[in-house]
Amino acid sequence: MCATQPEVITAMKIRTFGRHIKESLKSLGRNGWMTFASVSAVTVTLLLVGVFVMIMMNLNKVADDLENDVEIKVFVSLDAGEEEVAGLEEEISGLDGVESADFSTKEEELTDLVLDFGEELSLFEQSNPLFDVFYVKATEPQQTETVAKEIAQLEYIEDVEYGEGKIEKLFNFLNAGRNVGLVLILALLFTAMFLISNTIRITIVARRTEIEIMKLVGATNWFVRVPFILEGMWLGILGSIIPIGLVVLLYQKITEFAQPRLSGELFQLLEFSPFIYQVSALILAMGVFIGIWGSFMSIRKFLRV
């Protein structure tokens, strides 16, 4: 009497698992419209998640690329002689967080300007109003500001210029976008889970007698639960098929369109592979997760197993 046989609980037999899979699939068909409704909800949610992730990851990439291009332009004061310039170069290169410091004379600067803006500027060759300049790169883009301020403290420095504010603005924009997107996606995830848990609840109600008998003849709690969890999982997986297909197709088109046009630009989009496969895996994982979580919510409430 009261035989507690722990070895029975340990491994679920493969045969049993096959039975659970069969049961869960049958139930999908029986619940027809509810299955359709929750799969659609998951589809919409995951599609938005997929597109959102695609956009955010690429914006991040663009931001990274742009960041890496951020330089500090250091203007050397006019009273610095060659020796001082050499000294400065050493000092700047020696600073913490400086990757490189390239010197450019004011004549070179003017040549660049003329190249960019046209011959009219060559008038200035008589009395060059420009400064000798160092182009300094920080090892980490985030250090740009600190490095710039340190350089400004040095002697013979007229002025320092860098993408003040511009990087911050980009970051702020990205963060705001991310937050808005996250709220939207959380709301959608919640809806999808709610629909899934409703579908599972209908399944549970439909199988009440069966569950009652299962419990009376001594089925373990997991034995009762697993078919419902599997059903939730199928809903999630079914819901992720279309989003994955669309996201792959969409990104293929985007990369096909953008790659040639962006070649040689400062920033690039993420490569099709492995990025899109990672996004697909994420979509599938989220589908499975909301499916399982949705069914867990209704099982807990309705089965008390």
Residues that bind other proteins (CB under 8 A): 1-5, 8-9, 12-13, 15-16, 19, 209-210, 212-221, 223
CB of 221 to other proteins, least distance (A): 6
Residue type, 236: G
User: Would you call 35 helix, strand, or coil by DSSP?
Assistant: helix
3-class secondary structure, 73: strand
Q: Are 101 and 157 in contact (CB under 8 A)?
A: no
Residue 232 to residue 292: CA distance in whole angstroms: 5
State in angstroms the smallest separation of the CB of 53 from other proteins: 39
Q: Tell me which residue of 234, 225, 279, 219 sits closest to 29, measured CA to CA.
A: 234
Hey, what are 79's tokens? 């009273």
Phi-psi region of 23 (alpha: psi -120 to 50; beta: other; left: phi over 0): alpha
Choose between 4 and 263: whose C-beta lies nearer to other proteins: 4
φ, ψ dihedrals at 130, nearest 5°: -85, 170
User: CA 53 from chain center: how many Å?
Assistant: 5
Q: How wide is the angle at C-alpha 124 spanned by C-alphas 119 and 126, nearest 5°? A: 120
Judged by beta carbon, residue 147 or residue 226, the one nearer other proteins is: 226
Least distance (Å) from other proteins to the CB of residue 202?
Answer: 17
Task: Output 214 or 262, the one with its CB closest to other proteins.
Answer: 214
CB 238, min distance to other proteins, A:
25
Q: Quick one: 79 exposed, middle or buried, by C-beta within 10 A (0-12, 13-18, 19+)?
A: exposed
CA separation for the pair 255, 272 (Å, rounded)? 7
Alpha helices in 81-158 (DSSP H): 82-94, 106-117, 144-153
Find the shortest distance in angstroms from Cβ 1 to other proteins: 4
Nearer CB in complex with other proteins: 137/225: 225
Residue 131 vs 228, nearer CB to other proteins:
228
The nearest distance, CB 47 to other proteins, in angstroms, is 37
- Residue 30 Cβ vs other proteins, minimum distance, rounded to whole Å: 11
101 has which bridge partners?
Answer: 136
Which C-beta is closer to other proteins: that of 170 or that of 214? 214
Residue among 219 and 258 whose Cβ is closer to other proteins: 219
